[in-house]
Structure 1
Amino acid sequence: MGIKDDDGDARRRAVEACSTTPKMSEADFRRFSQFITAELGIKLPPAKKTMLEARLQKRLRALGLGSHREYCEFLFSPQGMEQELAQLIDVVTTNTTHFFREPRHFEILAAKVIPDILRRKGRGRVAVWSAGCSTGEEPYTLAMVLSECAEINPELSFSILATDISTQVLTLAKRAVYAEDRIEGIPEALKRKYLLRSKDRSRRLVRMGPELRSKVNFQRLNFMREFDFREDLDIIFCRNVVIYFDRGTQEELFKRFCGKLIPGGYLFIGHSESLTGMDLPLVQVAPTVYRRT
């Protein structure tokens, strides 16, 4: 099949646009990389230079800046630190998530973890932290699973703290509105029970019901800063978050998590993560599931 002349013109324009895209110097990349690691804990090795360069294009256009050097100077000014830091965080963070991700974790939570906590605590509220909650799929999944547990165990009550460093994803999480193709991982019975469909069916949107939304408290949190919660936690879900940190930062962060877990509390990590070789007061009870000693 031949290529039409107008298609060729479009391709030439795209190539010309790419050729005029400002490039980031090695010095500017090192400055960005060092700052992002210090501020967010996220590693940016030299192989990530092209990715960062591409992701910052939108910010350069929005601010009317012609180079990464100009953006760098603005970012590190007092005005930039106040106005642009949150935008940079949204640019460099990755927010891949979906409902019932790594489903075995939720099976263990319902079948083993909650019964064990209730045996030890008796009545009382179970405090859960979704650390790195992204657009809300994980905490709302937790809310559904724990709500089902509470129907079987009337003595169970719970609250969920959900945190992320990105203000952009937290705004979406609080809205709790999702396209229908985003909820495919939710069992049909739970969809009917906990989700509200848009009155305009052509929009193909759903929203988490008010009983779920009332169980989740969203807050912005930077892991590199001190976090001082008002109460200790029974369960922490921190999955597929620390893979972006270096090993030393990972261990330090998990030590701080352990300091917030009650004795006998549980930590869930992602299946791509490992605590091997870390000096932590944890015992493994299932793959990527640990209990505080």
Structure 2
Amino acid sequence: MVNAAIAGVSRSANGNEPEFDMTDRDFNTIAELAGRHTGIVLGPHKRTMVYGRIARRIRATGLVSFQRYLAYLEQHPDQELSHFINAITTNLTSFFREPHHFHFLDQQLLPRLKLQNSASKRLRIWSAGCSIGQEAYTIAISVLRAGFPKDWDIRILATDLDSNVLATGEQGIYPLDHIESLDVEVKRNHFRPTPDGRSVQINADLRNMVHFKRLNLLEPWPMNGPFDLIFCRNVVIYFNKDSQRMLFDHFADYLAADGHLCIGHSENLAGVSERFQPLGQTVYRKIR
């Protein structure tokens, strides 16, 4: 940690000027680093977001400017690069987000897989870009509701670039307001209050089903597959088209024959991949 004694940074007297000055050169350097290490494309429209997130790292390290922070990042990548990546990564999530995907799981896909995989008794699902784990745990709730026999080998892989959110996911502890909108039955069956009464924790049966791992999607993947289903929602919108093509081609390679892919509501595979058949509402089936 840089000596906090040099931190004394505050807003100007009128309170309207930014705490730190971020030049075009600073922003371009941050965008280049983000692209190189994460594949995320930071256009000019992301400037305000970048300012807010990197300003927090400047305060945390006790530095006084974007220029000094970037110099520190270059000189001490072992200490700071993971914090930089965590700051840039977007981690918006919620339970049962984009509920049409879970309707598809409940009503169509999981009942079909229970019959289709009855000989192998194996089910593999991947939540790519899992954030704090709420997507993966929602998938696990759907799997439990589908009533797979107890002798099945069921695993849900949850990966993310951000090590901080993965730690939260592994604990499975969330503020009470994160489950306010859930059905009473879901709350009763799958959550328990923490001792302080201010949070809830996912029940052990769900936590045991989900395995969290750090993974950069643009680096080699150590998993073997194949997966029956991959969720990768609201992730590729930050990648350029070449990275998207490579990523979806890789997903197809890791999916079982007739495997399925769910992407975000603002994403589509048009002009990106011809290896999937659209089924509607951003659900796709692998065709080759």
1:120 is matched with 116
Which runs of no fewer than 5 residues in structure 1 stay unpaired?
Answer: 1-11
Q: Is the 8 A contact 2:94 2:134 kept in 1?
A: yes
1:181 is matched with 177
CA drift of 1:156 comes to 5.0
Counterparts of 1:91-130 in structure 2, within 5 Å, are: 91-123=87-119, 124-130=121-127
Confirm whether residue 141 of structure 1 aligns to residue 138 of structure 2.
Answer: yes
Runs of 4 or more consecutive aligned structure 1 residues displaced over 6 Å after TM superposition: none
Counterpart residue type for residue 138 of structure 1? E
1:37 is matched with 35
User: What per-residue deviation string (whole Å, max 9, x for no partner) do you get for residues 134-171 of structure 1?
Assistant: 111101111111011125x6675421000111111111
User: What per-residue deviation string (whole Å, max 9, x for no partner) do you get for residues 85-127 of structure 1?
Assistant: 1111121111111100111111111211122223332241110
Aligned counterparts of 2:144 and 2:221: Cα–Cα separation in 1 = 27
User: Which of residues 34, 47, 50 is equivalent to 1:49?
Assistant: 47
Distance 1:16 1:86, change over 3 A: farther
Confirm whether residue 238 of structure 1 aligns to residue 232 of structure 2.
Answer: yes
1:61 is matched with 59
Distance 1:269 1:15, change over 3 A: farther
Counterparts of 1:1-293 in structure 2, within 5 Å, are: 15-16=13-14, 19=17, 21-77=19-75, 80-123=76-119, 124-150=121-147, 157-201=153-197, 203=198, 205-293=199-287
**Aligned residue-pair number:** 277
Aligned counterparts of 1:19 and 1:147: Cα–Cα separation in 2 = 52
Q: Is the 8 A contact 1:23 1:53 kept in 2?
A: no
CA drift of 1:247 comes to 2.1
Q: Is the 8 A contact 2:85 2:162 kept in 1?
A: yes
Q: What do you get for the CA RMSD once the two structures are aligned? A: 2.0
CA drift of 1:224 comes to 1.5
Name the SS of the counterpart of 1:163 in structure 2. strand
Percentage identity across aligned positions?
36
2:6 is matched with none
Q: Is the 8 A contact 1:136 1:174 kept in 2?
A: yes
Between stretches 91-100 and 183-192, larger displacement belongs to: 183-192
Larger-Rg structure? 1
User: What per-residue deviation string (whole Å, max 9, x for no partner) do you get for residues 204-263 of structure 1?
Assistant: x11001111000000011112111203311110111111111222112111111110011
CA drift of 1:130 comes to 0.4
Aligned counterparts of 1:274 and 1:83: Cα–Cα separation in 2 = 37
CA drift of 1:59 comes to 1.5
Q: Is the 8 A contact 1:158 1:215 kept in 2?
A: yes
CA drift of 1:185 comes to 3.6
Distance 1:14 1:232, change over 3 A: same
Q: Is the 8 A contact 1:258 1:280 kept in 2?
A: no
Q: Is the 8 A contact 2:26 2:67 kept in 1?
A: yes
Name the SS of the counterpart of 1:273 in structure 2. coil
Task: Report the TM-score, using the length of structure 1 for normalisation.
Answer: 0.88
Q: Is the 8 A contact 2:276 2:285 kept in 1?
A: yes
Aligned counterparts of 2:18 and 2:100: Cα–Cα separation in 1 = 48
Aligned counterparts of 1:62 and 1:180: Cα–Cα separation in 2 = 28
User: What per-residue deviation string (whole Å, max 9, x for no partner) do you get for residues 180-206 of structure 1?
Assistant: 1101243211211121113443x2x11
Name the SS of the counterpart of 2:174 in structure 1. strand
Aligned counterparts of 1:63 and 1:265: Cα–Cα separation in 2 = 45
Q: Is the 8 A contact 2:241 2:272 kept in 1?
A: no
Name the SS of the counterpart of 1:161 in structure 2. strand
Aligned counterparts of 2:159 and 2:83: Cα–Cα separation in 1 = 17
